[in-house]
């Protein structure tokens, strides 16, 4: 069972570069979301989606874009990377009223 | 603003001991509460989900309770084992875009 798959697992970017973090789930979940986890800050919601074609902002959306063209995929785009975006990023999916499943995370370093 | 705290921040116990982890939240108007486990360098694994209408949930050696009126949840782990060593996070959902995580309790079970 694949569950929630995130790629890449590790990434180093230079300031100003752009990149896309990939997230895919094979459980036909309608809800998908992106979090970042930082020491002392815990997990914070970046963007979320309640279904294909529908996205909305979470707590810390600035500097990130998302799209949801299919139920399975929910990529997170960094438009112009900044050192403040150095973090561990997690993608999660769930069905309404059900437990959330998380990916293994992407460790991003911006230098 | 919803705030979630967890006590203690860290806990070390000998194998076989029963233990309780605490989660407190400031806004009792929640949709559900979920307990997660996170191993170092890994993603989050859902342990138990309690809907706002429920008082407790059980899974194996784990039991989670919810008291919305007092803004508290506890995670009870019976007969702890070294494999239980991890960070335990609680997350409160008010609506889909309002998922607030606690800072976590780091548990170490000594053989």
Q: What is the pLDDT along chain B (111 residues), one digit of tens a residue?
A: 788 999 999 999 999 999 999 999 998 888 899 999 999 888 899 999 999 999 999 999 999 999 999 999 999 999 999 999 999 999 998 776 678 899 999 999 999
Quote the distance between the C-alpha of residue A58 and its chain's center: 11
At B38 the three-state DSSP class reads: strand
A96, A40, A94, A34: which is closest to A66 by C-alpha?
A34
The rounded mean pLDDT for chain A is 94
Size of interface A-B (CB pairs under 8 A): 46
- Taking the CA of residue A90 and the nearest CA in chain B, the distance in Å comes to 7
Quote the distance between the C-alpha of residue B84 and its chain's center: 13
Q: Nearest CB to B44: which of A57, A90, A98?
A: A90
The pLDDT value recorded for residue B101 is 92
CB atoms within 10 A of CB A39: 7
The pLDDT value recorded for residue B95 is 72
The pLDDT value recorded for residue B67 is 96
B99 or A56, higher pLDDT: A56
Residues with Cβ within 8 Å of residue A86, at least 6 apart in sequence: A108, A109, A110
Contact B91 A50 (CB under 8 A): no
Contact B89 A43 (CB under 8 A): yes
A47, A55, A45, A36: which is closest to B100 by C-alpha?
A45
Q: Nearest CB to A58: which of B91, B97, B103?
A: B97
pLDDT at A66 over 70: yes
Residues with Cβ within 8 Å of residue A41, at least 6 apart in sequence: none
Chain B contact present for A101, CB below 8 A: yes
Residues in chain B with CB shorter than 8 Å from the CB of A103 are: 43
The pLDDT value recorded for residue A32 is 94
């Amino acid at each position: 069972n694949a569950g929630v798959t995130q790629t890449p697992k590790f990434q180093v970017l230079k300031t100003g570069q752009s990149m896309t973090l990939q997230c895919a789930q094979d459980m036909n979940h309608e809800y998908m979301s992106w979090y970042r986890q930082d020491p002392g800050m815990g997990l914070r919601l970046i963007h979320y989606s309640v279904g294909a074609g529908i996205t909305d902002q979470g707590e810390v959306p600035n500097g990130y874009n998302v799209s949801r063209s299919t139920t399975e995929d929910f990529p997170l785009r960094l438009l112009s990377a900044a050192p403040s975006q150095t973090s561990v990023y997690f993608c999660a999916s769930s069905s309404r009223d059900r437990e959330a499943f998380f990916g293994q995370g992407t460790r991003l370093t911006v230098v | 603003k919803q705030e979630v705290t967890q006590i203690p921040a860290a806990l070390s116990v000998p194998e076989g001991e029963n233990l309780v982890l605490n989660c407190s939240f400031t806004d009792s108007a929640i949709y559900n509460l979920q307990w997660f486990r996170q191993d170092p360098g890994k993603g989050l694994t859902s342990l138990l989900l309690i809907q706002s209408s429920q008082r407790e949930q059980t899974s194996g050696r784990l039991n989670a309770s919810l008291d919305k009126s007092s803004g508290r949840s506890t995670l009870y782990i019976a007969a702890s084992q070294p494999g239980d060593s991890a960070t335990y996070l609680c997350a409160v959902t008010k609506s889909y875009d309002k998922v607030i995580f606690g800072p976590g309790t780091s548990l170490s079970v000594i053989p």
